[in-house]
Amino acid sequence: MAGQGARVIRCEEVGFDYGHGPVLRDVSLTLESGGFHVLTGPSGAGKTTFLRLCYLDLWAESGRVEVLGEAPTPDDRAAVARLRRRIGVVPQSCRLLDHLSVFDNIALPLDVVGLRNKAQLGNVSDLLTWTGLTERAHAHPPELSGGEKQRAGLARAVILSPEILIADEPTGNVDAEMSLQLLELMVELNRLGRTILLATHDLDLIRAVRRAVPARILRLAQGQVQQATA
């Protein structure tokens, strides 16, 4: 695991364009290990694009993105796969598989990397307890509320004990009470040493983050990422 204060994500003059004008322009910033980083900005500003660059799901058209000390190319599949195992991702849509139970959805990354064994399945049970989903372990996604799906998605994102958790608007489809519950889980992960990168445009959630941890607030607008001043 990267040491406290080490760089876990570093962008140098990063640019990206989908073909209808630049989404990101010359973005340069460093996210340090163990920090709680909040990325905010208006809808459509490019927050999801920036996050996808950070977890190696997109590739910068210009500049350089370094993740956990490496800057792999798309062709270096082994390096990309190795780094992705060290990053947990909670996308805007949880994308749980409807034919699998909550337990098996959370355990799915273990199957993908060949680590499904008795000890690891015990970790799934622990995560069900941590997220308050023990009684829903054998339920299927269509039976879950929005908040339950988001908590299951968070549990799945951390089952491989990632060093970085990247969450894209994880509270966008839940009520205020559930938003705070999800935030509490992420704050707990951060206090355990995990680096958090959370994208949200929810001002109430940002205020709650600031009350809970010494967070760094970043604002993305007009293709630029800047430190928020207020």
- pLDDT tens for each residue of 7-21: 899 999 999 999 888
Q: What angle, 0 to 180 degrees and rounded to 10, lies between the N-to-C axes of helices 118-130 and 146-158?
A: 140
> DSSP assignment, residue 163?
S
Say what the pLDDT of residue 230 is.
56
Dihedral sign (CA 151, 52, 41, 19): negative
Residue whose token pair is 């951060």: 190
**What is the pTM assigned to this prediction?**
0.93
Q: Which is higher by pLDDT, 1 or 117?
A: 117
Say what the pLDDT of residue 3 is.
53
Say what the pLDDT of residue 107 is.
94
Domains and CATH numbers, the chain: 7-227 (3.40.50.300)
Given a cut of 70, whether residue 38 has pLDDT beyond it is yes
Given a cut of 60, whether residue 1 has pLDDT beyond it is no
Say what the pLDDT of residue 19 is.
83
Q: How many CB atoms lie within 10 A of CB 65?
A: 22
Q: 3-state SS of the chain: helix, strand, coil percent to 5?
A: 35, 25, 35
At 22-33, the pLDDT tens digits run 899 999 999 999
pLDDT grade, residue 114 (50/70/90)? confident
Give the residue from 216, 214, 208, 213 showing the smallest Cα distance to 181. 208
Give the residue from 78, 12, 22 showing the smallest Cα distance to 49. 22
Structure tokens at 73: 């190319």
Contact 168, 90 (CB under 8 A): yes
At 83-113, the pLDDT tens digits run 999 999 998 887 899 999 999 999 999 988 8
